[in-house]
Amino acid sequence: QFLGSTEVEQPKGTEVVRDAVRKLKFARHIKKSEGQKTPKVELQISIYGVKILDPKTKEVQHNCQLHRISFCADDKTDKRIFTFICKDSESNKHLCYVFDSEKCAEEITLTIGQAFDLAYRKFLESGGKDVETRKQIAGLQKRIQELETENAELKNKVQDLENQLRITQVHASPAGSVTPKSPSTDIFDMVPFSPISPQSSTPTRNGTQPPPVPSRTTEIKRDLFGAEPFDPFSCGAGDFPPDIQSKLDEMQEGFKMGLTLEGTVFCLDPLDSRC
């Protein structure tokens, strides 16, 4: 169980650790009275440091590099408690981490001590180069975390701007309005004829209005000059002037008597010379 961490004034010392343990134990009693449970963690100890992980998700909660750990001890009065002091890389403050382990407190303390011994041996073998490499790696990891955080913030800002743009577009176009699509034109900039689509009243690109489509109705058709076309099957006797009607009557009587067009001469009234 991880009781937590608290800032201490000194990087080492038994009394410093005891004060931190008493402080965090008191805080744990308060949390228990409020119904909060002490979180459980998993420790990974290596020559590079001590990692505090979530036991279920394996997410790293704290990464204490070994060269920053200045003191490690278990509580002789309480065999369940062990602690270590580590200098924070960001604030440069000394933090005391306190844990409660029912059976492994002393073993964990010894394991951290063994990690120090192995790290020191490796330091002697490499001539100090390994420590510098770890410092560079640690600096790069910190920079990567900063960039990831900055990238996440930028993504959130971009998402907010996109949402604001959508809201602005919705307010700009009234609800239910449909923007008419301009009909496609041919190479002569003319709208192609479509018998099934209604003629749009929108002018073409050259500024001219397309001719209206004639409506198909049951009314009498008229020619280009507005006159009704001649239909011999629908015309009555009253449709002709009297002189022409008399000529037609005479011609009809002549046909009955056996006359032909060659034997009959027809002529109209002389035209007005003023025309």
Taking only the tens place, the pLDDT of each residue in 75-134 is 878 888 999 999 988 888 999 999 998 878 888 989 998 998 888 888 787 766 666 666
Cα-Cα-Cα-Cα dihedral of 216, 222, 223, 224, to 10°? -80
How long a stretch of residues is the chain? 275
Cβ atoms < 10 Å from Cβ of 75: 19
Rounded Cα distance between 259 and 261, Å, is 7
Q: Residue 275: its pLDDT value, please?
A: 44
- Does residue 85 contact residue 94 with C-beta atoms inside 8 Å? yes
Q: Give how far the C-alpha of residue 210 lies from the chain's centroid of Cα atoms, to the nearest Å.
A: 43
Q: What is the predicted pLDDT for the residue at 196? A: 53
pTM for this prediction = 0.47
What distance in Å separates the CA atoms of residue 142 and residue 151, rounded to the nearest whole number? 14
Show the CA angle centred on residue 74, arms to residues 103 and 85, nearest 5°.
125
Decide yes or no: CATH 1.10.10.10 for domain 2-126: no
Confidence (pLDDT) at 266: 46
Handedness of CA 242, 244, 247, 249 (dihedral sign): negative
DSSP state letters, 11-51: SS-HHHHHHHHHHHHHHHHHHHHTTPPPPP-EEEEETTEEE
* 3-state SS, residue 175: coil
- Alpha-carbon distance of 190 to 206, in angstroms, equals 9
Q: What is the pLDDT of residue 269?
A: 46
AA letter at 86: C
Domain residue spans in the chain? Answer: 2-126, 128-166
Segments in the chain below pLDDT 70: 127-134, 173-245, 247, 254-275
CA gyration radius, the chain: 52
Q: What does the block give as tokens for 185? A: 């034109």
- The sign one gets for the Cα dihedral 45, 49, 52, 54 is negative
Structure tokens at 266: 């027809």
> What is residue 268's predicted lDDT score, i.e. its pLDDT?
44
| Token reading at 150 | 């900055």
Helix (H) or strand (E) holding 86: strand 81-87
CB 132 within 8 A of CB 140: no
